[in-house]
Amino acid sequence: MKRFFKLRNLIIFTLAFLGVAQFFKIDKTNATVSSSLDFISLENPPEHIKRMIRNECYDCHSNETRYPWYTDYAPVSWWIKSNINGARDFFNFSEWGKLSKKEKITKMQECYEALKDEEMPVALYIMMHDNAQFSENENDILMNWFKNFQVQ
């Protein structure tokens, strides 16, 4: 009988937490994107590379995040927002123009490494976003483009 009450109390607490959590919404406001700083505007990659970077990277690593419906619900929304903030802090394609030449070279190398080591995009992101699911060949093309990128 004690187990039942413990389980019941746990369920009640969980439901109460989830209910109260809905009052703490995340900020979904994206910072304004300036074409004078944006990676794609400044570097003008080939169309197929541009498409892959937009589909695979920009949602988290730019100020052009598209928030899906499930970001309306805490605590999932908190976790996603935390990941986006971390991704933007690490590298933000929307602020490419603020980087020095050395930083740009480093970021392109890090992009290459993340794809090579299959760290990016995150598997859960791929599962939730059909447009981020590339073939192995497409991933290799993007990875090699990052590897051979020349800073202007």
At residue 1 the predicted structure's pLDDT band, cuts being 50, 70 and 90, is low
Q: What is the mean pLDDT of residues 130-148?
A: 85
* Sign, CA torsion 57/94/91/79: negative
pLDDT of residue 128: 77
- Tens of pLDDT, residues 81-119: 999 999 999 999 999 999 999 999 999 999 999 999 988
Predicted confidence (pLDDT) at residue 80 exceeds the cutoff of 70: yes
* The model's pTM: 0.82
* Sign, CA torsion 78/118/60/151: positive
Predicted confidence (pLDDT) at residue 125 exceeds the cutoff of 70: yes
